[in-house]
């Protein structure tokens, strides 16, 4: 699934952003800890990736309404939701649905 997602995002962004690197975060156990908190070190890592020009996004089995607060708070560039069925870019623009 990750290869397919990568190809879709790369194709959609190739004319605008060249070959930018992308970093994906899962939510449960990766972005948030067992206490449902995002650690300061994780926030710092997200900012550092973005400062390096790397696209930062979420990849999760959860739905788009669940990830929207994370997108807004941490300024993620995209979110792959429902295990790849919907890919959102920016402020909720659907760039792929299956």
Distance between CA atoms of 48 and 54, rounded to whole angstroms? 9
Q: Which helix (H) or strand (E) holds 94?
A: strand 93-97
Which two three-digit tokens encode residue 32?
A: 């948030």
DSSP 2-66: HHHHHHHHHHHHHHHH-S--EEEE-TBTTTB-TTS---HHHHHHHHHHHHTT-EEEEE-SS-HHH
CB 77 within 8 A of CB 89: yes
Is the per-residue pLDDT at 23 higher than 90? no
Model confidence pLDDT, tens digit, residues 35-87? 888 999 999 999 999 999 999 999 999 988 888 888 889 999 989 989 888 88
| pTM for this entry | 0.72
Catalytic residues: 26
């Amino acid at each position: 699934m990750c290869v397919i997602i990568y190809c879709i995002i790369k194709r959609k962004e190739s004319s605008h952003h060249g070959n930018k690197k992308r970093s994906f975060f899962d939510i449960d156990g990766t972005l948030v800890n067992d206490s449902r908190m995002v650690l300061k070190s994780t926030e710092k890592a997200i900012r550092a990736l973005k400062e390096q020009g790397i696209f930062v996004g979420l990849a999760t089995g959860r739905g788009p309404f669940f990830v929207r607060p994370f997108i807004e708070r941490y300024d993620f560039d995209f979110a792959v939701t429902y295990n790849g069925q919907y890919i959102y870019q920016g402020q909720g623009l659907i760039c792929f649905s299956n």
